[in-house]
Amino acid sequence: MISRGPLLKVRRAEIDDAAAIAKVHVATWRSTYGGMLPDDFLASLAEAGYEERWQRVLADESSRVYVAADGREVVGFASGGRERAGEDGYGGELYAIYVLQDAQGRGHGRSLVQAVTAGLRELDLSDMIVWVLRDNTGARNFYERLGGVYVRAQPITIGSALLEEVSYGWRSLDDVVY
């Protein structure tokens, strides 16, 4: 467990966390991607569907999922595992990291990345890539502060929107700056 104080902590997620992760997932997509993704797509996101998805992910030991908690409330999550798209030079991937807007700026993001990198090491992975929407400047700045180096861009379709995503990479997990 990685702690940042008596009430703020990051821990490995459990099946019972699926509903809380789904709640954070939907809330953060709506707050983060408003103006980037179509309003009807964001409105269609349902916690129940994400809860089922996260139950499946949490039951599968091939990835690592962590939650950030403020007391007993889950305020963020991150997941990672083996790189999924065959990107040359990267074996590990930070799949997702989201922290509720009102809980940002308290170190949860850095602690979640630290937990994921430890999980990647458990999987015998030594590097990491992450994909982020090009227009998500807050997340891009976060990855750059962590020492991520721009890798490349590619198109992505989310709902009815054609967007561009960019990747940041760390050739060694030792290069991640917390």
Q: Model confidence over 51-74: pLDDT tens digits?
A: 999 999 999 989 999 999 988 899
Supply the pLDDT for residue 7. 67
The CATH number given to whatever domain includes residue 78 is 3.40.630.30
pTM recorded for the entire structure: 0.94
Domain of residue 9 covers: 2-126
Mean pLDDT of all residues belonging to the chain: 95
Q: Encoding tokens for residue 75? A: 């305020």
Q: What's the confidence (pLDDT) of residue 100?
A: 98
Q: How far is CA 139 from CA 80, 110, 122, 165, 175, in A?
A: 16, 12, 25, 12, 18
Q: How far apart are CA 92 and CA 129, in angstroms?
A: 6
d(CA 92, CA 104) in angstroms, rounded, equals 25
Instruction: Examine residue 178 and state whether it is found in any structural domain, yes or no.
Output: no
Residue 47 falls inside a structural domain: yes
Q: Is the Cα dihedral 100, 52, 122, 171 positive or negative?
A: negative
pLDDT tens-digit series, residues 89-116 = 999 999 999 999 999 999 999 999 999 9
Number of domains observed in the structure of the chain: 1
Give pLDDT, residue 99: 98
**Spans of the chain, pLDDT less than 50:** 1-4
